[in-house]
Structure 1
């Protein structure tokens, strides 16, 4: 029998900030680690998948937010997880 996936007690607000049990995740290394393990399910829900552990989290709008836009030969967009799109 398949085990139900529990909630994480983690919320991502509309600005892309993460909160655990109401307290903002302020350590950048933890924030980036969680972002790296964020998975979007086919039903649109998000979960953290770390090793064999999984849990659902609440996302107010979108987990990824544009933090910077630049232009130098091409447009470059930097997201809150420090990834870049051109």
Structure 2
């Protein structure tokens, strides 16, 4: 009896883009269940490339920026935040991992520090009232009466912190 294949991604033209959406052959995947399945199935090869692993089937994917995005934030009740990721997992924000990249894009580390995640606008704007800037242009995140420096990502120009 033939085994059912993972035909949804056989084309190898599946991509996860910086807008936090999945695409197949340049068409946005609007089915939230498929998008969630894909987000929960991301794996990384030793060479840094990505693929989807669904049951025994594998399919290569293209990741435009990061394999995870921070869709929203929730208050943790203790003066901090919980990240809500594209795979619907929730994890505490580690302010020591924040960094700003090109075009003032904010990033953090997730999944035990293994992956970088890009903040989508709603999450960024939720966090932005807690940003402070020193006279030298250094940005900080203030949480629980502590200031956490927001690092400049490698490759980001000095003019990015505006």
TM-score by length of 1: 0.82
Higher helix proportion (structure 1 or 2):
2
SS in 2 for 1:56: strand
Where does residue 83 of structure 1 map in the other structure? 89
Which ranges in structure 2 are unaligned for 5 or more consecutive residues? 1-9, 93-162
Q: TM-score, structure 2 length as denominator?
A: 0.46
Rounded to whole Å, the distance in 1 between the matches of 2:40 and 2:87 is: 8
Unaligned runs of 5+ in 1: 1-5
Secondary structure of 2:23's aligned partner: strand
Q: 2:66 aligns with which of 62, 76, 84?
A: 62
Shift of 1:79: 1.0
After superposition, the C-alpha distances for 1:21-72 in whole angstroms (9 at most, x for unaligned) are: 1110111111111112211112111101122221211110012111112322
Q: Which has the higher strand share?
A: 1
Task: Decide which structure has the larger Cα Rg and report it.
Answer: 2
Residue of structure 2 equivalent to 1:24:
28
